[in-house]
């Protein structure tokens, strides 16, 4: 940012007005809702809060949420690195189409993302009869929820790595190979250290979405208490039962996850000097 001279500075009243407008807007839409989560969560006191988040269904919801993230994040991270290697390191036809297709899941409504797996694996779905005959349950069970979560978090890691690796070029890898390193060594010792912050960044965003996803998971979950309710779905159940204190208590855990994600994200942007403007 260059130094602004007088002639390119907005008048004081305009600056005050615009900053005031921004604070009012962000306050109303971001900070008041965030604050309300914690106020409502502790409204009935610490004991009620503790009970709500340690109760059996809440614990199983937390476990399921962690399980889903543990399945989806590594898979999409491996995919992201692999896709970025293929797309950034080599030239081939149809690359821009492939890039657009990788971003596709972001454009799809979460509800439709869940629905596609019901059409595939549901009782009336394409493989429904076969699955039933072999007594395999995918929809209304963990595998379906994992698939839906993988779908909605699909592009996160790839879209962080591809532009970075394209910008970095291949020179360092060529140097390593010409010095006798194997392909695998080159990847581990040269490429991976170069992309580690972007990879971490993508993983954090992927994880936040995986743990917080609601619509897609809701379609395939079946909402069986203590079995197929993730933490966001558990929040919905509690809220619809007018158990507001418990709903907000569980929501506060998810809010903390969101805040932690933001903090880590900001830290990486600062640490790695990434200027990330990434909707």
Q: Which of residues 75-114 bind other proteins (CB under 8 A)?
A: 79, 82-83, 85-87, 89-92, 98, 100-105, 107-112
| By the rule CB under 8 A, 272 interacts with other proteins | no
Shortest Cβ 139–other proteins spacing (Å): 11
Instruction: For the segment 19-38, give every residue that binds other proteins (CB under 8 A).
Output: 19, 21-23, 25-26, 28-34, 36-37
Q: Which stretch binds other proteins (CB under 8 A): 50-58, 129-137, 241-249?
A: 241-249
- CB-based burial of residue 3 (10 Å sphere; 0-12 exposed, 13-18 middle, 19+ buried)? exposed
Total residues at interface with other proteins (CB under 8 A): 106
Q: Which stretch binds other proteins (CB under 8 A): 4-12, 44-52, 55-63, 130-138?
A: 4-12
Find out whether 226 and 124 touch, Cβ atoms under 8 Å: no
Find out whether 265 and 205 touch, Cβ atoms under 8 Å: yes
Binding mask 184-203 for other proteins (x = CB under 8 A): --xx----------------
Long-range contacts of residues 9-18, Cβ cutoff 8 Å, at least 24 apart? none
Q: Return the biggest CA–CA distance within the chain.
A: 77
CA-to-CA separations, 159 to 10, 99, 101, 180, 266, in angstroms, rounded: 37, 9, 11, 31, 18
| Binding-site member from 157, 206, 251, 268 for other proteins (CB under 8 A) | 251
| By the rule CB under 8 A, 175 interacts with other proteins | no
């Amino acid at each position: 940012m260059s130094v602004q001279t007088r002639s390119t500075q907005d008048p004081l009243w305009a600056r005050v007005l615009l900053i005031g407008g921004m604070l009012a807007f962000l306050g109303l839409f971001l900070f008041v809702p965030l604050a309300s989560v914690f106020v409502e969560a502790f409204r009935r006191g610490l004991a009620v809060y503790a009970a709500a988040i340690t109760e059996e269904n809440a614990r199983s919801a937390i476990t399921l949420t962690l399980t889903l993230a543990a399945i989806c994040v590594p898979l999409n991270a491996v995919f992201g690195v692999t896709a970025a290697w293929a797309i950034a390191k080599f030239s081939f036809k149809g690359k821009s189409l492939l890039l657009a297709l990788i971003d596709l899941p972001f454009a799809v409504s979460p509800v439709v993302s869940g629905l596609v797996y019901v059409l595939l694996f549901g009782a009336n779905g394409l493989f429904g009869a076969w699955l039933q005959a072999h007594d395999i349950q995918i929809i209304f069970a963990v595998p379906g929820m994992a698939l839906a979560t993988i779908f909605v978090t699909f592009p996160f890691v790839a879209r962080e790595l591809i532009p970075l690796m394209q910008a970095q070029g291949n020179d360092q890898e060529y140097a390593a190979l010409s010095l006798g390193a194997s392909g695998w060594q080159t990847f581990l010792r040269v490429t991976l250290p170069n992309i580690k912050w972007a990879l971490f960044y993508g993983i954090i965003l992927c994880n936040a979405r995986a743990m917080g996803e609601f619509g897609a998971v809701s379609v395939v979950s079946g909402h069986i208490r203590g079995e197929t309710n993730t933490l966001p779905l558990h929040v919905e159940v509690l809220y619809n039962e007018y158990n507001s204190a418990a709903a907000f208590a569980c929501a506060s855990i998810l809010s903390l996850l969101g805040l932690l994600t933001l903090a880590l994200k900001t830290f990486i942007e600062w640490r790695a000097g990434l200027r990330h403007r990434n909707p």
